[in-house]
Amino acid sequence: MEKSLIDEILRFRDARNWKQFHNPKDLAISLSIEASELLECFQWASSAEALASRREQIAEELADVMIYAALLAEATGLDLEAITRAKLAVNAEKYPVEKAYGRKDKYDRL
């Protein structure tokens, strides 16, 4: 996420004096709830049906996930870009191309 967007999210929080509520545990709860609301857009629907009828809601719920990800990163002192790059490196070890190519199995079943 661009630094300017993260800053905007933090300014939004601080303008409302919400940092006092934003302990990491409740932020992790909130991120999980938003991810579930995003999933709800696909309940009883195929991907195509969901995109056809709820694209705006999908965008809003995915954005809420991003906002809580930024807030949780700030509250825990993590850098979103750095941890994501680091995790890609871990995943590259767990899912080497020659084993994982065209397979959807978990790494422990490859």
Shortest distance in whole angstroms from residue 48 CB to its own copies = 9
Residue 23 backbone dihedrals phi, psi, to 5 degrees: -70, 150
Shortest distance in whole angstroms from residue 43 CB to its own copies = 6
Closest CA to 18 of 73, 69, 75: 75
Side chain identity at residue 25, one-letter code: K
Shortest distance in whole angstroms from residue 10 CB to its own copies = 11
Which residues lie below 8 Å from residue 68, measured CB to CB, with a gap of 6+?
27, 30, 31, 34
22: enclosing H helix or E strand: none
